[in-house]
Amino acid sequence: MNNFFRSELNGLRPYSPGKPISDVKRELGLEEVIKLASNESPYPPFSEAMEAVSRTQNEVNRYPDGGCVELKSKLVKFLGFPESNLMIGNGSNELLRLLAQICLNPGDEVVMACPSFVVYPTVTRMMGGVCREIPLINHRHDLKNMLSAVNEGTKIVFICNPNNPTGTIVSKEEIDVFMSEIPENVMVVFDEAYFEYVDDESYPNGLDYFDEKRPIVILRTFSKIYGLTGLRIGYGIAPKTIVSAVNKIREPFNVNHLAQVAAIASLDCVDKVAERKKLTLKQKRFLYEEFDKMGLSCLKSEANFILVDLKVDSKKVFNQLLQKGVIVRTGDIFGPGYENFIRVTIGMPEENKKFIRALREVLS
C-alpha cells in the first residue's frame, strides 16, 4: 500500500509525547512518579475554572458553541481586539496546522529556527511545503539569517518566543529590525505559548506588531500557566481575512464545551496568574542554584522549563532517572548538538527537590 498514501507523509513522524506517569508506574512498579517532561503546569486549573466545568459538565450531551462566541467576547475585553480578529483552536497546535493549510501550496517555503517547536516542520511538510530551518546561535533565534532565507517563494516565518526547547527569547529591538525588513506579503507567526512566564523587560509583545493589512499572527494558549493542558484550547489574533480563511476549513465544534467555559473563567484570574508566575520564577532560581552547585551549565529560560547540559549522554541519564520515578525529556530529539542536554519542566517545590536528589545520585 506504499502508493496509497499522500507522498507528503513520507518522512513525517508521529509526535512523540512525554512518557505518561501511569506507564512508568506500571512498567517499573513504582508508587510515586513525577513528570517534568512536557512543559505542563504542575498546578491544577484555577478553582474558578474547575467550578465552571463542574456547573456545566452535564451539558456535554449538546454540541459546544461552534463559534466560541462567549469566549471571544471575553477575549475582546481581555486583549482589546475585535472578535473578527480572533480565532480559537483545539490547542494552538490546531491553529498552526490550519494556518499551513490555508497558505501553503507544494513547494512554498517556510522559515523557522532549529531547534524549535516540532510542529512547525510537520505542518509545513504535510502540505508539501519546504522547510528552511535556520540554526540557532547561542541557543537563540538567528533573525538575521532567518531574514536572509526569505525569498520570493517564502510564505510563512515562525518565531517561537520564548523558544521551545531552549527557553530563550529574542528582544523587542531585534524584532523591530526584523519586522521593518520582512516583506509585507510574508506571514509572520509569533508563537507565544509561554508569554505569561516571561520576566525579561526586553521581551516584545507580539500584539504590538499586529497590522490588519499585513499577515501577522499571534498565537497563545491556555495550556501552560492556566493549567488547561488536558482540555486543549488555544487562541490566535490575526487579520480578518486570515480568520475568515481559517473558519472555512476548521472542524465544526473544534473546541469542546468544557474547554470553553474553563478558559472563560480563567481569564478572570489575573492575580492568580501573576502569583503562579512568581512561584515558577522562585523554583527556577532554585534549580539554577542547584545546577550551579553540581557544575552543570543551563540556559537562562524565560519559560517554565530549563535546558541543562549534563555533559553525558542524556538518554542514559533519562533511563536512570526513570528508575527513580522522574520523567524528563532527552535532548537528542532536538537534533545534533543537544544529545547531552535534558529539558526539565519546573515543577512544584517537592518535585524539584526530588528531581535534584535523583540527578545528583545519577551523576555521582
This prediction has a pTM of 0.96
What is the structure's pLDDT at 2?
67
Express each pLDDT in 31-49 by its tens digit: 899 999 999 999 999 999 9
3-state helix, strand, coil in the chain (%, to 5): 45, 15, 40
The CATH number of 7-44+270-363 is 3.90.1150.10
For 131-140, the CB contacts below 8 A with 24+ separation are 136/163, 136/166, 136/168, 139/163, 139/166, 139/168, 139/299, 139/307, 140/166, 140/168, 140/169, 140/170
Q: CA quadruple 262, 265, 268, 272: dihedral positive or negative?
A: negative
How far apart, in whole angstroms, are the C-alpha atoms of residue 41 and residue 38? 9
Rounded to the nearest integer, the mean pLDDT of the chain is 96
**Band of pLDDT at residue 7, cut at 50, 70 and 90:** confident
The neighbouring-strand residues paired with 343 are 307, 329
Express each pLDDT in 209-239 by its tens digit: 999 999 999 999 999 999 999 999 999 999 9
Set of cell numbers at residue 108: 512554498
3-class DSSP string for 198-251: CCCCCCCCHHHHCCCCCCEEEEEECCCCCCCHHHCCEEEECCHHHHHHHHHHCC
How far apart, in whole angstroms, are the C-alpha atoms of residue 327 and residue 47? 27
Tell me if the domain spanning 47-266 has CATH number 3.40.190.170. Answer: no
Domain limits, the chain: 7-44+270-363, 47-266
Express each pLDDT in 133-166 by its tens digit: 999 999 999 999 999 999 999 999 999 999 999 9
Q: CA quadruple 237, 240, 74, 253: dihedral positive or negative?
A: negative
How far apart, in whole angstroms, are the C-alpha atoms of residue 347 and residue 283? 8
pLDDT at 359 over 70: yes
Express each pLDDT in 231-243 by its tens digit: 999 999 999 999 9
Express each pLDDT in 280-321 by its tens digit: 999 999 999 999 999 999 999 999 999 999 999 999 999 999
What is the structure's pLDDT at 312?
97
3-class DSSP string for 49-118: HHHHHHHHHHHCCCCCCCCCHHHHHHHHHHHCCCHHHEEEECHHHHHHHHHHHHHCCCCCEEEEEECCCC
What is the structure's pLDDT at 9?
86
Express each pLDDT in 324-340 by its tens digit: 999 999 999 999 999 99
